Structure 1
Amino acid sequence: MEELLTIRKDLVQKYFIKKKMSDSEYSIMHQEFNTTQLPFSSDLSNTACSFSTSISCKSDFQCSFNSKQIKLITHSVNEVHLFSPDVSEVQVKALFACCLEYPLKSACNRRVAFFFDALCEHKLISTRWQHTIDKNGLILSSAKNVLLNSSKLSTALNEAKQNGGCVYKSIELKVLEIARRLII
């Protein structure tokens, strides 16, 4: 929702003009948000155009981890089995720099989404992490060899939060450990 309100003024103006939005209209808007780019037309204000340009240039996690932090993150990611096969420090560094040679393969989409959301909640990465993974083609789905998009990540995160299994508590503890060590 935050991304919609801050980035897609065109969709807010298109769908929020009514007093009430139906579920089907919301679904259409959500689909349009995930599958279209912000139009650069003359009817948009200069402010909106310059704002959207600056956002599109920042399609990254907005983080800067040093080598010790990358080592800790890599260890944590492998310990909770986010990717298949396990990943190296070089791959994790490239992931957060959005310059992977090949996308990483998710071992479980819900775990991956939960992990990145936990990093975000601890303010270690941008709130636009789903968009970043999507736009940079960083992670393949666990079920198929297709790239995870924002919509699939959002669904996986919702399912993970509803599940509440012990693996998610383990992920939360790992991210908490990462956050604490990054402060020191």
Structure 2
Amino acid sequence: MRKNEHKKNFHIMEELLINRKDLVQKYFVREKLCDSDYSIMHHEFNTTQLSSISEVSDTSSVPKACLSKVDFQCCFNSKQIKLITHCANKAHLFTLDVSEAEMKAFFACCLEHPLKSVCNRRVAFFFDALCEQKLISTRWQHVIDKNRLILSSSGKNVLLNSSKLSTALNEAKQNDGCVYRTIKLYVHIIAEVEEFTNSDME
């Protein structure tokens, strides 16, 4: 199993056990949890939220280190960060060119200031392409939203939230422009770099 995918699955289970007591109680009490049950549970985890504050599990006994903020669940190496940075600048995703240090901080969800989108559709397409290659969490929209990482192209100091990202992605997928093909190509190369690196380590 690839390193990124392993880390992503670990964080999904960590967040599930800490924050979704409702799903744990619903599925883990069964005598047997089969693959289809897990798929349904994973879908609910990605598409639903707790219905009320009273359902939130008690985290008072959980170590603070385990209560980390939601993140991309990724583990990029230096070559991948370099390629990601080059792609972001080549595709003109943000109003200012980004550095490798900024991209590292972005994926660590610790940017000092949010990046400003040039085109929300382009930005959404880029992160969805990373997700399709299993390089980042399927909840990337939620991660960007909750960590206040990107400002929308549509207004001054307006943050890109999950809803805006979802709309932008739907619009982008209806467009077959050159920039989207370029993004797809770069993301494919980024994924191949990971495969190559992992095969060298085996």
Q: TM-score band (shorter)?
A: 0.7 to 0.9
Number of the residue aligned with 2:112: 101
**In 1, distance between residues paired with 2:82 and 2:135?**
15
- TM-aligned CA distance change 1:108 to 1:8, over 3 Å: farther
Please identify, of 125-134 and 163-172, the stretch whose mean Cα deviation from structure 2 is larger. 163-172
For residues 19-67 of structure 1, what are the alpha-carbon distances to aligned partners after superposition, in whole Å with 9 as ceiling and x for unaligned? xxxxxxxxxxxxxx89x875331xx4xxx7379x9x9745100001122
SS at match of 1:164: coil
Task: State percent identity of aligned pairs.
Answer: 65
Number of the residue aligned with 1:65: 76
Number of the residue aligned with 2:160: 148
1:123 partnered with 2:134: yes
1:110 partnered with 2:121: yes
Q: Which amino acid aligns with 1:65?
A: F
Structure 2: runs of 5+ lacking an equivalent: 1-15, 24-46, 197-202
Counterparts of residues 1-184 of structure 1 (less than 5 Å): 39-41=52-54, 44=55, 49=57, 57=68, 59-144=70-155, 145-184=157-196
Q: TM-score, normalised by structure 2?
A: 0.66
- TM-aligned CA distance change 1:153 to 1:90, over 3 Å: same
Aligned pair count reads 150
**In 1, distance between residues paired with 2:139 and 2:21?**
13
**In 2, distance between residues paired with 1:73 and 1:146?**
24
